[in-house]
């Protein structure tokens, strides 16, 4: 089951950033945007002709002319505008192959123009729940997704070992949480990339509020304030459009319309944000061991189609960091009728701020008389 679950979870936290997380750009009104691509590299956005190819490396943005380059402004150079992200403004005018221009170095043999960015300047756009990508409170020990711009100097990187590292992407990128008590905690990283990082919220973080920032080398991003709460149950989504959740059978196979659950089946639901457990949470960044069950201290209730579903276990998923597993049984009331139907599944918990109900996911159930 572990390998199947790893494969399932590997892609869950790598969806596109929500629209609200994208930066605003100031575009020259004379630019025909339908003919341009947008590419971020560190603290610069380049607006590039569609007949140019693009390549990135750790220190420069290289724009290489294609063999059939047209509409050039100077030998081997296309029309390129640069825009600075913070604040959003025009960073440099349209450039030409003029060696006196300080923003590029022309290479005549390769017909390319190299634009140097002279400093690191990561941007933090949003702090979200990794299961739903919704902005809201964070729970110590849970998994969060940070939407960023220019947060790395290299390729994206998955953390392959545990305990999870607190610096990734070549050891240059960090996510840092500061609690209301002033204590500072680098967060363990599951994944880091230029536009997104997935982290475990440090177990030791204390609210009621916290500040979050991203650090590239020695340069800090802007900080965002977030609320800190004790529980905020959230079920991982596999298909946001269809609201399909991360729900599997005991053999590790996913529950879906091709293989629906039936009355009496036991299924496992994977979530985050279920809060404190007994025994206490493992050290930040460390997986739950296989030889000990970590049960949530607050009771977890589950409903399917508005019908209470017996919860057999709710606690940390063995072998994983920040991931919770809820084993529940499909109620017998779904034994009548025929056909496959999708029913909303949700979790609920009582926390210090009252009753918290998770997002709904759709669970495929086969009804048979």
Q: What is the CATH number of the domain that holds 177?
A: 2.70.50.70
Does residue 317 lie in a domain region? Answer: yes
The per-residue pLDDT for 76 is 30
For the segment 104-131, the average pLDDT, to the nearest whole number, is: 56
Whether 222 and 124 have beta carbons less than 8 Å apart is answered as: yes
Q: Is residue 1 part of a domain?
A: no
Least confident of 54-68, 198-212, 331-345: 54-68
What is the distance between the alpha carbons of residues 252 and 247, in angstroms, rounded to a whole number? 9
69 and 129 share one domain: no
Distance, in Å, from the CA atom of 221 to the CA atom of 238, rounded to the nearest integer, reads: 31
At residue 113 the predicted structure's pLDDT band, cuts being 50, 70 and 90, is very low
Average pLDDT over residues 346-368: 95
Residue where a domain terminates, one of 181, 205, 227? 227
Beta-bridged to residue 288, according to DSSP, are 318
User: Is 13 contained in some domain?
Assistant: no
**pLDDT for the residue numbered 10:** 52
107 and 126 co-located in one domain: no
Dihedral pair phi/psi, residue 251, rounded to 5°: -85, 0
Number of domains in the chain: 3
Do 333 and 238 reside in the same domain of the chain?
yes
Q: What is the pLDDT of residue 71?
A: 30
Give CA–CA dist 256/259, Å, rounded: 5
Cα 140 from chain centre = 17
Q: What pLDDT digit, counting tens, does each position of 29-84 carry?
A: 444 444 433 333 333 334 333 333 333 332 233 333 333 323 323 223 333 333 33
Provide the CATH number for the domain around residue 270.
Answer: 2.60.40
* 210 and 146 within one domain: yes
How does pLDDT run across 291-317, given as a tens digit for each residue?
999 999 999 999 999 999 999 999 999
Q: How far apart are CA 291 and CA 284, in angstroms?
A: 18
Q: Which domain holds residue 63?
A: 24-41+44-116
On the 0-12 / 13-18 / 19+ scale of CB atoms within 10 A, 84 is middle
Asked if residue 343 and residue 241 are part of one domain, the reply reads yes
User: Are 154 and 205 part of one and the same domain?
Assistant: yes
Residue 143 pLDDT more than 90? yes
Q: How many CB atoms lie within 10 A of CB 323?
A: 24
CA pair distance 8, 10, nearest whole angstrom: 6
**196-227 exposure pattern, b = at least 16 Cβ within 10 A, e = fewer:** bbbbbbbbebebeebebbbbbeeebbeebebe
Q: Which of 227, 244, 275 is the last residue of a domain?
A: 227
**Is the domain of 145 the same as that of 222?**
yes
**Pair 162, 57 in one domain:** no
**pLDDT tens-digit series, residues 219-240:** 898 999 999 999 999 999 988 8
Does 286 lie in the same domain as 350?
A: yes
What is the pairing mode between strands 354-357 and 339-351?
A: antiparallel
Nearest CA to 107 out of 57, 150, 63 is that of 63
Element spanning 196, H or E:
strand 196-200
Is residue 277 pLDDT above 50, yes or no? Answer: yes
Question: Of the candidates 98, 116, 134, which is a domain's last residue?
Answer: 116
- DSSP letters, 143-171, are EEEEEEES--SS--EE--SSSPPSSBTTT
On whether both 86 and 168 belong to a single domain, the answer is no
Are 187 and 252 found together in one domain?
A: no
Answer whether residue 14 is part of any domain. Answer: no
Q: Would you say residue 10 lies in a domain?
A: no
* Whole-number pLDDT of residue 338: 77
Q: What is the pLDDT, as a whole number, of residue 5?
A: 54
41 or 122, greater pLDDT: 122
Task: Output the average pLDDT for the chain.
Answer: 75
Mean pLDDT of 152-172: 88
Residue 4 lies in a domain: no
Point out the least confidently predicted range of 81-95, 157-171, 194-208, 333-347.
Answer: 81-95
Q: Return phi, psi of residue 335, to 5°.
A: -85, -15
- Does the residue 177 lie in any domain? yes
Measured torsion, CA atoms of residues 120, 125, 129, 131, in degrees rounded to the nearest 10:
-80
* Omega cis (within 30) before 131: no
Identify whether residues 247 and 351 lie together within a single domain: yes
């Amino acid at each position: 089951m572990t390998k199947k679950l790893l494969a399932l979870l590997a892609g869950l936290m790598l969806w596109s950033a929500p629209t609200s997380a994208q930066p605003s750009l100031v575009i020259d009104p004379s630019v025909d945007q339908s003919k341009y691509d947008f590419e971020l590299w560190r603290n610069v956005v380049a607006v590039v002709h569609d007949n140019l190819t693009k390549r990135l490396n750790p220190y420069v943005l290289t724009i290489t002319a294609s063999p059939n380059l047209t509409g050039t402004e100077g030998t081997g150079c296309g029309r390129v505008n640069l825009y600075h992200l913070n604040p959003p403004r025009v960073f440099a005018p349209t450039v030409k192959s003029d060696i006196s221009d300080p923003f590029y170095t022309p290479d005549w043999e390769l017909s390319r123009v190299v634009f140097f960015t002279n400093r690191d300047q990561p941007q933090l756009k949003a702090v979200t729940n990794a299961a739903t990508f919704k902005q809201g409170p964070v729970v110590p020990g849970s998994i969060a997704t940070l939407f960023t711009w220019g947060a790395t100097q290299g390729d994206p990187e998955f953390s392959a070992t545990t305990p999870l590292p607190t610096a990734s992407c070549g050891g240059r990128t960090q996510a840092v949480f500061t609690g209301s008590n002033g204590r500072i905690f680098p967060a363990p990283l599951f994944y880091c990339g230029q536009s997104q990082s997935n982290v475990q919220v440090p177990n030791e973080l204390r609210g009621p509020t916290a500040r979050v920032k991203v650090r590239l080398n020695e340069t800090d991003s802007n900080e965002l304030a977030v609320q800190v709460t004790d529980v905020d149950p959230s079920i991982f989504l596999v298909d946001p459009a269809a609201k399909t959740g991360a729900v599997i059978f005991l053999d590790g196979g996913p529950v879906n319309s091709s293989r629906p659950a039936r009355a009496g089946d036991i299924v496992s639901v994977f979530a985050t944000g279920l809060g404190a457990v007994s025994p206490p949470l493992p050290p930040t960044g460390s997986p739950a061991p296989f030889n000990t069950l970590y049960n949530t201290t607050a009771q977890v209730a589950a409903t399917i189609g508005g019908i209470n579903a017996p919860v057999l276990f709710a606690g940390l998923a063995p072998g994983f960091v920040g991931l919770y597993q809820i084993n529940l049984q499909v109620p017998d009331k779904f034994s009548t009728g025929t056909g496959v139907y999708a029913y909303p599944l949700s979790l609920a918990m009582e926390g210090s701020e009252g009753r918290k109900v998770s997002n709904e996911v759709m669970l495929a159930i086969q009804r048979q008389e």
